[in-house]
């Protein structure tokens, strides 16, 4: 395939020859790197840009017209620059700029730990209060109420048998009332 002209290689690659497409991409890879180094596109890393460069290569092969007396390399380079400018404009568009810039929670841990409540971490005093109240409710419950409470807590979404469900539900509701009324 090395004896083909550049135009012929473009046509062969367009017809689905992945090997020739990769050869063209490898040949023009330094051009893609240079364009990437000339433009800062936030949020786009090397792999993203390489993928974008492959897409642009394919589109450039489709749009390339040899009668325009421009080499394919120049046409591809211009296509890359245009796409980079489009991406910069897209990222910097005023309507896409957030009102407040996003910051990582890790940057200012003390601020977030002082101002935001973490529902996952509980207050030791509150935990102790609830445990004492739970033990009191268990001691005040009948055997049926205790069984219902433990079953509902351990398997909250479990379907109960029809004959037991009404009695267990009522027993559980009595436990809840005792817990709230204390």
Question: Averaged over 170-177, what is the pLDDT?
Answer: 80
| CA 180 – CA 182 distance, rounded (Å) | 6
Which is more confident, 67 or 58? 58
Is residue 175 in some structural domain? yes
Residues 92, 133, single domain; the answer is: no
| CA 162 – CA 135 distance, rounded (Å) | 29
Domain coverage including residue 165:
124-181
| Sign of the four-CA dihedral 94, 96, 98, 102 | negative
Is residue 111 in some structural domain? no
Task: Give how many domains the chain has, as a whole number.
Answer: 2
pLDDT at 91 over 90: no
Is residue 107 in some structural domain? no
pLDDT at 120 over 60: no
Is residue 147 in some structural domain? yes
CA end-to-end span of the chain: 87
- Give the SS3 label for residue 40: coil
pLDDT at 119 over 70: no
What is the chain's alpha carbon radius of gyration, rounded to the nearest angstrom? 34
Structure tokens at 82: 């245009």
**What average pLDDT does the chain have?**
80
* Lowest-confidence pick of 5-19, 104-118, 165-179: 104-118
């Amino acid at each position: 395939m090395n004896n083909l002209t550049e135009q012929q290689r473009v046509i062969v690659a367009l017809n689905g020859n992945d090997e020739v497409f990769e050869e063209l991409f490898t040949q023009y890879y330094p051009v893609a790197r240079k364009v990437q180094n000339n433009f800062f596109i936030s949020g786009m890393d090397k792999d993203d840009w390489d993928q974008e460069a492959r897409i642009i290569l394919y589109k450039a092969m489709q749009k390339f017209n040899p009668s325009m007396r421009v080499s394919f390399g120049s046409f591809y380079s211009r296509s890359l620059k245009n796409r980079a400018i489009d991406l910069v404009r897209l990222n910097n568009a005023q309507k896409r700029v957030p009102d407040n810039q996003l910051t990582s929670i890790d940057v200012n841990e003390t601020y977030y730990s002082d101002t935001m409540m973490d529902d996952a971490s509980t207050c030791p005093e509150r935990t102790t209060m609830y445990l004492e109240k739970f033990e009191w409710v268990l001691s005040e419950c009948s055997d049926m109420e205790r069984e219902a409470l433990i079953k509902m807590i351990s398997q909250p979404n479990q379907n109960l048998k029809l004959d037991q469900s009404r009695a267990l539900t009522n027993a559980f509701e009595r436990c809840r009332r005792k817990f709230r009324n204390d």
